[in-house]
């Protein structure tokens, strides 16, 4: 049975319409564009090895995942299509070699795609379909300028598909500039698309979170756990403390080499590692089958990032658990997340780990929460504070960049 996003998106895509799709992580979004993309390529120009479809994604992990999905579907086609994947953080030479002889479908991050174009390894003049996957994240990670440069290189007549889990102002502006009379598909609120994720919130002093995590790991039967922290430094520290406590754990963040990142994910999927301690780099584009638990060791900066984090569990119809640690100075922070996501998560306490710190008043502003987080000691990594309702300076810069596309 197709998921809601697949059932609503595939028919108009096959008709050649532009499409703006909004769906939660784990909703089957990749197949919603991958299947019709391949079918349209089979029915279109039979010229071999001319780049006809381009999928732009924000992260290396999502690029690899989308490439794997496309290749899995394409192996059943009567005609062989060449699908290439490219991203930064690794040597460009193997990717240049892979493009010799041409390519039918390209999956890439924006910066590396421009590198390949600059090396004359790709020509975009024959492109018939553009897919922007995780469009909000593309802009959030600062790719607005690169996306604008890529759009300027594309032929004016093409089919455009834009998928995103959320549509902040910058993503709306991008959609307005790229899409032509698009079909709108929004399934975020559809009951069948909401994963079965139980959410829990445990009150605990910041300095005792690692001890509590170790206790929960030892008392539970969790086989794979993804723990989110705020910074690369915290990722290394928490993973090291878990290892010293006898728990197989590895950090996962942007300063690791691509080979190391791939190895960590493989080890998690094969249960050679039980816990991966990650920054928000892993909040999107990571698909680990049967991941039972996500832990917010640090709360995310934004309510939207909370949604993406917990979306790593409860995928493909599976149930999952999202567990958040709530230190006293983050209570107001979590209340704001609850308000913006329409949640009400009962607070819990674990015997032996009852907090002694006093909570910040619920009326505290986002700036006050930021200040509290900044005042923490190195042993209690902060989360940067949740975004306020008014756009930050960074948000305004992103929106301005998107308007230039």
Chain segment 187-196, per-residue pLDDT in tens: 854 433 445 7
Task: Look at the block and give the residue holding tokens 């994720």.
Answer: 197
**pLDDT band, very low/low/confident/very high, at 264 (cuts 50, 70, 90):** very high
The domains of the chain are located at 4-190, 195-374
Q: What is the pTM of this model?
A: 0.65
**CB-count exposure of residue 150 (10 Å: 0-12, 13-18, 19+):** buried
Residue 393: its pLDDT value, please? 55
**pLDDT band, very low/low/confident/very high, at 315 (cuts 50, 70, 90):** low
pLDDT of 332 strictly over 70: yes
Share of the chain above pLDDT 70, in %: 82
Residue of higher predicted confidence among 214 and 78: 214
Residue 196: its pLDDT value, please? 79
**pLDDT band, very low/low/confident/very high, at 115 (cuts 50, 70, 90):** very high
Residue 377: its pLDDT value, please? 41
**C-alpha–C-alpha distance, residues 90 and 259, integer Å:** 8
Of the options 3.40.50.300, 2.70.98.50, 3.40.50.10490, 3.10.129.10, the CATH number for the domain spanning 195-374? 3.40.50.300
Residue 152: its pLDDT value, please? 94
Residues contacting 87, CB < 8 A, separation 6+: 59, 60, 63, 64, 108, 109, 112, 258
Find the mean pLDDT for residues 326-353: 94
Residue 371: its pLDDT value, please? 41
pLDDT of 66 strictly over 80: yes
Distance in angstroms between the alpha carbons of the first and the last residue of the chain: 38
Find the mean pLDDT for residues 68-72: 94
Find the mean pLDDT for residues 289-314: 87
Residue of higher predicted confidence among 374 and 334: 334
The fold adopted by the segment(s) 4-190 is: Rossmann fold (3.40.50)
What are the backbone dihedrals phi and psi of residue 325, each rounded to the nearest 5 degrees, phi first? -90, 130
CB of 155 within 8 A of CB of 148? no
pLDDT of 368 strictly over 80: no
Residue 72: its pLDDT value, please? 94
Share of the chain above pLDDT 90, in %: 56
- 4-190 against 195-374: fold identical: yes
Task: Look at the block and give the residue holding tokens 């070699």.
Answer: 97
Least confident interval from 31-40, 155-164, 364-373: 364-373
Residue 401: its pLDDT value, please? 53
């Amino acid at each position: 049975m197709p998921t809601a996003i697949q059932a609503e998106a595939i028919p108009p895509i096959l008709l050649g319409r532009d499409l703006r799709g909004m769906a939660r992580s784990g909703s089957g979004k990749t197949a919603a564009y991958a299947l019709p993309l391949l079918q349209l390529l089979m029915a279109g120009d039979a010229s071999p090895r001319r780049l006809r479809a381009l999928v732009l994604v924000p992260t290396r992990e999502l690029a690899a995942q989308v490439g794997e999905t496309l290749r899995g579907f394409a192996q059943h086609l009567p005609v062989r299509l060449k699908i290439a994947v490219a991203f930064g953080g690794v040597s460009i030479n193997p990717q240049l070699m892979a493009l010799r002889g041409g390519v039918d479908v390209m999956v890439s991050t924006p910066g590396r795609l421009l590198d390949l174009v600059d090396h004359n390894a790709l020509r975009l003049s024959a492109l018939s379909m553009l897919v922007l996957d995780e469009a909000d994240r593309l802009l959030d990670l600062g790719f607005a300028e690169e996306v604008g440069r890529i759009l300027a290189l594309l032929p004016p007549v093409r089919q455009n598909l834009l998928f995103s889990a959320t549509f902040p102002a910058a993503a709306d502006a991008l959609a307005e500039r790229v899409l032509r009379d698009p079909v709108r598909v929004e399934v975020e609120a559809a009951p069948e698309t909401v994963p079965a994720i139980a959410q829990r919130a445990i009150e605990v002093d910041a300095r005792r979170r690692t001890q509590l995590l170790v206790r929960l790991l030892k008392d539970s039967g969790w086989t794979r756990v993804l723990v989110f922290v705020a910074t690369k430094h915290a990722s290394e520290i928490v993973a090291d403390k878990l290892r010293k406590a006898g728990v197989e754990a590895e950090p996962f963040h942007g300063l690791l080499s691509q080979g190391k990142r791939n190895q960590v994910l493989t080890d998690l999927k094969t249960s050679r590692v039980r816990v991966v301690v990650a920054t928000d780099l892993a909040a999107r584009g990571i698909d680990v089958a049967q991941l039972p638990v996500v832990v917010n060791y640090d709360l995310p900066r934004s309510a939207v990032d909370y949604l993406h984090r917990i979306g790593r569990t409860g995928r493909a119809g599976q149930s999952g658990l999202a567990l958040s640690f709530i230190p006293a100075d983050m209570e107001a922070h979590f209340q704001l997340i609850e308000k913006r996501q329409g949640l009400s998560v009962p607070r819990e306490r674990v015997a032996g780990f009852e907090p002694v710190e006093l909570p910040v008043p619920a009326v505290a502003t986002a700036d006050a929460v930021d200040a509290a987080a900044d005042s923490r000691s190195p042993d209690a990594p902060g989360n940067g504070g949740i975004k306020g309702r008014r756009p930050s300076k960074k948000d305004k810069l992103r929106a301005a960049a998107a308007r230039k596309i």
